Structure 1
Amino acid sequence: MTELPAPTEAAGFWEARYRDSDRVWSGRPNALLVDEVTGLTPGTALDLGCGEGADAVWLASQGWRVTGVDISPTALERAARHAADAQVDDRTAWERHELGRTFPEGTFDLVNAQYLQSPVHLDQQTVLRRAAAAVAEHGTLLIVMHAGWPSWQTRPPFEAVFPTLDSVPAALALPEDGWAVRTARTVRRTSVSPDGEEGFREDHVWRIRRR
């Protein structure tokens, strides 16, 4: 695993988040990843902010060779165990990076950037531009972002700026002769509060193909 520079607030925050809980995420792949990637020809994939590895393991089960990246050593250990349990450890590799400061080398047929939104500092624009640069010819960049707080969230826990459907492609400034937007959509899904209040949350999805 790649060694990070000196620890930062973000590194400490995310390691504590994983270390203080037996499991943070469901273990199932993000549904929007499954929707957008199903049907693509498997190749090499980079999963940014892989957490406990659900997306990376699913991709590997579909025939992709996946590099999963996260800031938390605990998350990466769990991801590796998940891959071994799913018998796809021969198609997965794990690297520790603090995105915005370090980034994996090479290019990939798929770069998956799901919910790179953080309550602690993350240079999101730099990360997404480096993600685009890591897409191989005829490869795919998949970005999913929350479009706002859940409908039941009357008191947001921290200040956040949410993207519009137009703002992410504009910030990436990808040349039209080199890239084609295949998907740009907003998806509403059911969201339930910790107290059981039912509501919804909206996500933006961009699937962009390099020519």
Structure 2
Amino acid sequence: MSTHDDRTAQEFWEAHYEEREHIWSGRVNAQLPGILAGVTPGRALDLGCGEGGDAVWLAENGWQVTAVDIAETAIGRAEFAAEARGVRDRITFERHDLSDTFPQGTFDLISAQFLHSTVRLERPQILRTAASAVVPGGLLVVVDHAAPPPFSKKVPHDHPFPSPEEVLADLDLATEEWERVRVEVVDRDGTGPDGEPFTWRDNVMVLRRRA
């Protein structure tokens, strides 16, 4: 992915989190509860955990979670949220620049929710590595933006927003090893910074590794 900033990826994201006391809502990402409805909890890996909304929700719903982010500031906030909600013992936090290092182990669920960046992020490589760490019968869940929000001023004009099929083509996973549980574009309602309504378009990709 192209780099649009002279800072390292870690410097960029540390500065981003230091802009405000809280960047994200603290709630679980919108698509994840529906995707996991009826799925038996096990070991989960949350890629790019941010301030911990997904990791905490997963832990509250019975998952044992490894949550990773590039920014120490984000991890500190996520740890605080986990402690406040009584699930700190169910989450292991690790700092990784996923373009260079990846958590050890295998997982029943690997979740990449809106793993976008305008600085270096080797996304296809990261998602291929993630796929290799999913146990037979486990899920790889990727949700990302199909397009930027209309009010965004921070996304460079050449920042890619690939379709679900383009994402999966980049991953090049063997069809005999992976089942497409759900691959689609989903619309959801959103509210802009000035209260104006708009429609998010999410790419939703749910793949199950065949047993």
Shared topology, TM-score over 0.5?
yes
Tell me by how many angstroms 1:38 deviates.
Answer: 1.8
Q: What letter corresponds to residue 130 of structure 1 in structure 2?
A: T
Contact 1:145-1:163 within 8 A present in 2 as well = no
Task: Say whether the 8 Å CA contact 1:165–1:204 is kept in structure 2.
Answer: yes
Q: Following the alignment from structure 1 to structure 2, what is the Cα–Cα distance between the partners of residues 171 and 99?
A: 17
Give the secondary-structure state (helix, strand or coil) at the position aligned to 2:164. coil
* Cα distance in 1 between the residues matched to 2:31 and 2:79: 23
Superposition deviation, residue 199 in structure 1: 1.7
1:23 aligned partner: 22
- Measured in 2, the distance between the counterparts of 1:156 and 1:42 equals 36
Q: What is the CA-CA distance between 1:163 and the residue it aligns to?
A: 1.1
Distance 1:192 1:121 in 2: 29
Contact 1:29 1:55 (C-alpha < 8 Å) held by counterparts: yes
The answer on whether the counterparts of 2:148 and 2:155 sit within 8 Å (CA) in structure 1 is: no
RMSD: 1.4
**Preserved CA contact (<8 Å) 2:46 2:67:** yes
Note the alpha carbon deviations across 1:105-124, whole angstroms, 9 max, x for none: 11100000011111111111
5+ long unaligned stretches in structure 2: 1-6
Shift of 1:95: 0.2
Confirm whether residue 65 of structure 1 aligns to residue 45 of structure 2.
no
Tell whether 2:166 aligns with 1:167.
yes
3-state SS in 2 of match to 1:166: helix
**8 Å contact from structure 1 (residues 149, 156) kept in 2:** no
Instruction: Write the distance in 1 (CA, Å) between the matches of 2:77 and 2:152.
Output: 33
Unpaired runs of 5+ in structure 1?
A: 1-7
Could you tell me how far 1:154 is from its partner in structure 2? 8.3
- Asked if the contact 1:146/1:162 (under 8 Å) is kept, the reply is yes
TM superposition score normalised by structure 1? 0.92
Aligned residue identity for 2:67: G
What is the Cα deviation at residue 155 of structure 1?
Answer: 6.5
Show CA shifts across 1:111-150 (max 9, x none). 0001111111111111111111111111100000100122
Counterpart Cα distance in 1 of 2:29 and 2:81:
15
Q: CA deviation at 1:156?
A: 6.8
1:122-161 matches, cutoff 5 A? 122-150=121-149, 152-153=150-151, 157-158=155-156, 159-161=158-160
Q: How do 1:75-114 residues align onto structure 2 when only pairs under 5 Å count? A: 75-114=74-113
Change (3 A) 1:21 1:154: closer
Q: Which amino acid is the alignment partner of residue 144 of structure 2?
A: M
For residues 55 and 119 of structure 1, the distance between their equivalents in structure 2, rounded to whole angstroms, comes to: 22
Moved more, 137-146 or 195-204: 195-204
Q: Deviations over 1:48-85 (max 9, x none)?
A: 00001110000001110000000000110111111111
Equivalent position of 1:13 in the other structure = 12
Aligned twin of 2:43: 44
